[in-house]
Structure 1
């Protein structure tokens, strides 16, 4: 699904990255909100692996690999202040 024309450039880049690796999302706004929640979760001290498992649990249709990719893209797009943790 293409992003809305008035979307934030970061949102557009995030959604484009999901599209490129084949992660489907029914609602772009929800996908962006979920990515921002990943940042909040990581900021609370959780690891990227824990975040990926959380994304997988919330989206059973995703493989753990795709959930990990979602977390990585979310971190790269929205979580610049969150240190990497595995």
Structure 2
């Protein structure tokens, strides 16, 4: 009887751990800014692939930081081309989408 109770408690703990992990993952996704989903969707529609949503979003935010620091679009384009396999057209699209979604004051 003790063994049955131990297994039941262990199963309940395992199910609780899985549910808690799932809820944390869902909460993290749900708390993403609306512009994140729109930005990622624009990349998807253009056929631009990325390693993870977080990396793509961080690159977009970095684009805005570069503009804040006084970088030109040509400099940012060159940086993107050096650090990715994007075509020049897709690099420009990425910049425009990043600015549109995260720093529209540069439009």
- The TM tier, using the shorter chain, reads 0.7 to 0.9
SS in 1 for 2:98: helix
Identify unmatched segments of 5+ residues in structure 2: 1-27
1:5 CA drift (Å): 4.2
Aligned residues: 79
SS in 1 for 2:104: coil
Higher relative contact order (CA 8 A, sep 6+): 1
Partner of 2:64: 39
Is 1:64 the equivalent of 2:88? yes
Distance 2:77 2:100 in 1: 14
Structure ID, larger Rg: 2
- TM-score with structure 1 setting the length: 0.84
Q: Deviations over 1:23-67 (max 9, x none)?
A: 0001000100000000000111111121111111111x1111111
Q: Indicate the structure with greater helix content.
A: 2
Identify unmatched segments of 5+ residues in structure 1: none
Q: 1:54 aligns with which of 64, 68, 79?
A: 79
Distance 1:10 1:22 in 2: 18
CA RMSD of aligned residues (A): 1.4
